[in-house]
Amino acid sequence: MDQSFLALFFILLVGGLIWSWFSGSDAPYIATSYKNLDKILKTAGVKKSKIFYELGSGDGRVVLAAANLGADSNGVEQSWVRVWYSRLKAKKLGLSNCHFFHGNLFDRHYYPADVVYIYMLQKCVDSLEKILKNELTKGAVVITQKYHFKKWKPFKKTGDFWYYRT
């Protein structure tokens, strides 16, 4: 094979992986800080026997932290590279209670969730507000980071993190 063809193939492959890592129309990839993450999740009631969802799970750090607290943890992510990466991290950590799904977060149902975590742009948060209000069971907790629901009243605010109860 011609070396220029191999170089072009390699460049396209790497470019595709980079594009997939940073793709997503509802939020740019900005990872949540590890600082106080366990405290934030515990405040929302994340623990064993709870069902946790992160919508737009990125590199999986929040879902993995919830799984470490014992919750059945689920991440929904648009980038298949980040999903694979997150699955590898979960496997490496031996977290069988941790699941990552590739796809559009608007194509899934979240009614079994006890806690939902969202770090998305305001437009997406606005779109999720009515969906989650109608779908989640009474008493479920939703955490938003930086961009918040306009019509819901939080029961607690900790810096950029706001907690709501349905």
How far is the CA of 16 from the CAs of 9, 22, 60, 100, 107, in angstroms? Answer: 10, 10, 20, 21, 24
Cα–Cα distances (Å) from 142 to 50, 57, 62, 85, 136, in that order, read: 13, 15, 14, 25, 9
According to the model, what pLDDT value does residue 138 have?
96
Which domains does the chain carry? 3-165 (3.40.50.150)
pTM: 0.85
Q: What does each of the 166 residues of the chain score in pLDDT, given as a tens digit?
A: 677 655 554 454 445 545 554 555 556 678 888 899 999 999 999 999 999 999 999 999 999 999 999 999 999 999 999 999 999 999 999 999 999 999 999 999 999 999 999 999 999 999 999 999 999 999 999 999 999 999 999 999 999 999 999 9
Name the amino acid, one letter, at 46: V
For residues 77 and 56, the answer to whether their CB atoms sit within 8 Å is yes
